Structure 1
Amino acid sequence: MDKQTITIYDVAREANVSMATVSRVVNGNPNVKPATRQRVLKVIEELDYRPNAVARGLASKKTTTVGVIIPDVSNIFFASLARGIDDVATMYKYNIILANSDESGQKEVQVLNNLLAKQVDGLIYMGHTLSDDVRAKFSRSKTPVVLAGTIDPDEQVGSVNIDYKEASRFVVDKLVKDGNEKVAFISGSMDYSINRDYRLEGYKAALKENHLPYDESLIFATDYSYKAGESLWAKLTAIGATAAYVVDDELAVGVLNGMLDHGMSVPEDFQIITSNNTILTEMVRPKLTSISQPLYDMGAVAMRLLTKMMNKEEIEEKTILLPYDMIERNSTN
């Protein structure tokens, strides 16, 4: 028998049971006699039968599939979130379609259209920002959406994050209290709301609390990449910065190595605090002090929130802030 054409009917005939019984076995329904269940499972294995998710979706008007849009699949921050999403999706028997948007606004819309065309039951969106085009697509599609590690300033879309503004204020305050009057702020694009309206605002709040002036020459908006961080050392030393808060770990490793390669000592000459506490922070020497975000939990909670939305359960709070911490290592005093 051709593997492609094996249907629930074939399994039922071979096992000498009704199609309803096969369906109950496949879906884990307890109302099947143990002996019958074993017989059906044996036939399923022998025939290598795989339930057709699309056909099942047509019957139930659900595809049991969730689309996950990720801006950079190679970035450990997003990969850690995706693990939490995937584990909870598996628990609730949802399949994941992972789509990489390459940090491109145009590709985000294209990827979103592709996922909606596949009739996904829900979407988890991880991007650095929520563009007007993407927001418009969300509201038109009526498909439940949750943001993970992404901010919606208007709080119209469900989201799971930490309090980025407060975390930023907290670590910059630490750097200032350690004796650094010129603390650089190194982030990705200021077009991203998470950087401009949250992290930078926290940075400004810490300076204000410590009666320090805000100096725009200490603000660096660059790419989220190792190379971008590595090339900053000359500018940082030229303006007399003695510390930096960096919003991405790969960027922070670039800053660290740029300093070390040009004869600077960390933390003696320059202190660094990064923000995602991915494995990179422990792979470098000196190890990097970092804000600790519960990345796996953020993904898991986002997926659980989405399951509630897809099943139209009651939701108490759709803007969720999880606790964060700071892990002190060797890039600060």
Structure 2
Amino acid sequence: MKKKQTVTIYDVAREANVSMATVSRVVNNNHNVKPETESKVLEVVKKLNYRPNDVARGLASKKTTTIGVIIPNVTNSYFASLARGIDDIAEMYNYNIILTNSDGDHKKEMKVLNTLYSKQVDGIIFMGNELLDSVRTELISERIPVVLAGSVDPQKQFASVNIDYQKAVYTQATKLIEQGNRKIAFVTGGLNIPINREYRLKGYLDALATADIEFDDSLVFDVSNINYENGYQLKDKLLSAGATAAIVSNDRAAAGIINSMNDSGIVVPDEFEVTTSDNTELTKMMRPTISTITQPLYDIGAVSMRLLTKMMKNEEVVEKNILLPFGVDYRNSTK
């Protein structure tokens, strides 16, 4: 099969009998061209099926109008909702998105970063549970705008859009205390991760201190690979620690705890209460439905993209670390 020959801007200019600069103005919607000339050029563009070369155009202008987005898990509805907000605002401001999946693997994060740099992206939106020093150094060295979406940076070197995770967990714990729970477990996916150690755990501790409840470290469960199976296996440890409720940082682990309790004849929420963090579809599909923090996921993505557009255009940014409102939806896994 004969390879299709690429049509260039020179071919269009020659066919329309105009300069290449005129063709460039027409295809870039610069209306500083006579209407009859613009019409003639557009006819030739259509006739030859000309497609502007974005890469070449980016090399010339040093702008590619392309954004790199790094997601740890594209199958997770939490990150999918964030990505949708990013995409809608990117389209509004005429930016293209290159979506990459890191699988939450730090080596792969470095690999996709280098891939995005090779494509000369104008900015990056990073989503991930943790920002390692190696990734931080790489992001800083490239000197292009970066926004963290749903990811925290305790050092505040990068712009970010989140909710107040510390206050959210404080709200959850306070509600459980008000319902008579004095032994509340805190189940998290790794205390080495800043979002858990610096924000969620502090919210839990603040709520205990406010209620004058002594902290019991046996009620903190640090689960490195937090998932449904590991949540299911936690039941005996939770009960042995005397817990009557659990705050869980992962919806699947929360579902595992609930099913394990119910399978053992322990009724949720009458005998054990569970509340979780991400408000994925699973929280509504479970029986009982799971009480959860509600995050404006679409808005986090949308605001992140808008913030990035301002940074890329060197517009004034009043606040680089934005906290959006959150809620707590009390469903049937709590009393």
1:231 paired to 2:233? yes
Q: Which residue of 2 aligns with 1:186?
A: 187
- Seen in structure 2, the aligned counterparts of structure 1 residues 8 and 256 have a Cα distance that, compared at 3 Å, is farther
Q: Which residue of 2 aligns with 1:324?
A: 326
Q: CA deviation at 1:262?
A: 2.5
Q: Which residue of 1 aligns with 2:114?
A: 113
- 301, 306, 309: which one pairs with 1:307? 309
Superposition pairs for residues 16-165 of structure 1, below 5 Å? 18-31=19-32, 40-41=41-42, 43-165=44-166
My pick for the range that moved more, 16-25 or 89-98, is: 16-25
In structure 2, C-alpha distance between the alignment counterparts of 1:35 and 1:253, rounded to whole Å = 65
- Seen in structure 2, the aligned counterparts of structure 1 residues 20 and 258 have a Cα distance that, compared at 3 Å, is farther
Give the partner amino acid of 2:265.
Answer: G
In structure 2, C-alpha distance between the alignment counterparts of 1:98 and 1:51, rounded to whole Å = 22
In structure 1, C-alpha distance between the alignment counterparts of 2:37 and 2:78, rounded to whole Å = 46
Give the partner amino acid of 1:52.
Answer: N
- Seen in structure 2, the aligned counterparts of structure 1 residues 262 and 35 have a Cα distance that, compared at 3 Å, is farther
- Seen in structure 2, the aligned counterparts of structure 1 residues 155 and 36 have a Cα distance that, compared at 3 Å, is same
| Number of residue pairs the alignment of both structures matches | 333
My pick for the range that moved more, 293-302 or 20-29, is: 20-29
- 293, 296, 321: which one pairs with 1:294? 296
Instruction: State whether residues 126 and 149 of structure 1, in contact with CA within 8 Å, keep that contact through their aligned partners in structure 2.
Output: yes
Q: Which residue of 2 aligns with 1:283?
A: 285
Q: CA deviation at 1:286?
A: 1.4
- 252, 257, 265: which one pairs with 1:263? 265
My pick for the range that moved more, 243-252 or 81-90, is: 243-252
Secondary structure (helix, strand or coil) at the match of 1:127 reads coil
Secondary structure (helix, strand or coil) at the match of 2:104 reads coil
Q: CA deviation at 1:303?
A: 0.9
Deviations 1:225-244 (A, max 9, x none): 22222222222222221111
- 242, 245, 250: which one pairs with 2:244? 242
Give the partner amino acid of 2:331.
Answer: R
In structure 2, C-alpha distance between the alignment counterparts of 1:250 and 1:30, rounded to whole Å = 54
Q: CA deviation at 1:98?
A: 1.5
Superposition pairs for residues 177-216 of structure 1, below 5 Å? 177-216=178-217
My pick for the range that moved more, 16-25 or 317-326, is: 16-25
Instruction: State whether residues 183 and 218 of structure 1, in contact with CA within 8 Å, keep that contact through their aligned partners in structure 2.
Output: yes
Instruction: State whether residues 276 and 293 of structure 1, in contact with CA within 8 Å, keep that contact through their aligned partners in structure 2.
Output: yes
Structure 2 residues not aligned, in runs of 5+: none
In structure 2, C-alpha distance between the alignment counterparts of 1:297 and 1:284, rounded to whole Å = 25
In structure 2, C-alpha distance between the alignment counterparts of 1:242 and 1:189, rounded to whole Å = 22
My pick for the range that moved more, 158-167 or 28-37, is: 28-37
Secondary structure (helix, strand or coil) at the match of 1:129 reads coil
- TM-score when normalising by structure 2: 0.92
In structure 2, C-alpha distance between the alignment counterparts of 1:278 and 1:22, rounded to whole Å = 49
Q: CA deviation at 1:188?
A: 1.0
My pick for the range that moved more, 81-90 or 254-263, is: 254-263
Deviations 1:199-229 (A, max 9, x none): 0000010011111111111112222422222
In structure 1, C-alpha distance between the alignment counterparts of 2:107 and 2:263, rounded to whole Å = 37
Give the partner amino acid of 1:75.
Answer: N
- Seen in structure 2, the aligned counterparts of structure 1 residues 39 and 291 have a Cα distance that, compared at 3 Å, is farther
Q: Which residue of 2 aligns with 1:168?
A: 169
- Seen in structure 2, the aligned counterparts of structure 1 residues 28 and 288 have a Cα distance that, compared at 3 Å, is farther
Q: CA deviation at 1:15?
A: 5.0
In structure 2, C-alpha distance between the alignment counterparts of 1:30 and 1:246, rounded to whole Å = 57
In structure 1, C-alpha distance between the alignment counterparts of 2:38 and 2:215, rounded to whole Å = 70
Secondary structure (helix, strand or coil) at the match of 2:176 reads helix
My pick for the range that moved more, 122-131 or 92-101, is: 92-101
- Seen in structure 2, the aligned counterparts of structure 1 residues 134 and 34 have a Cα distance that, compared at 3 Å, is same
Secondary structure (helix, strand or coil) at the match of 1:5 reads coil
Q: What is the alpha-carbon root mean square deviation over aligned residues?
A: 2.1
Q: CA deviation at 1:13?
A: 4.4
In structure 2, C-alpha distance between the alignment counterparts of 1:94 and 1:152, rounded to whole Å = 26
My pick for the range that moved more, 132-141 or 45-54, is: 45-54
- Seen in structure 2, the aligned counterparts of structure 1 residues 151 and 23 have a Cα distance that, compared at 3 Å, is same
- Seen in structure 2, the aligned counterparts of structure 1 residues 13 and 130 have a Cα distance that, compared at 3 Å, is same
The sequence identity of aligned pairs, in percent, is: 58
My pick for the range that moved more, 8-17 or 259-268, is: 8-17
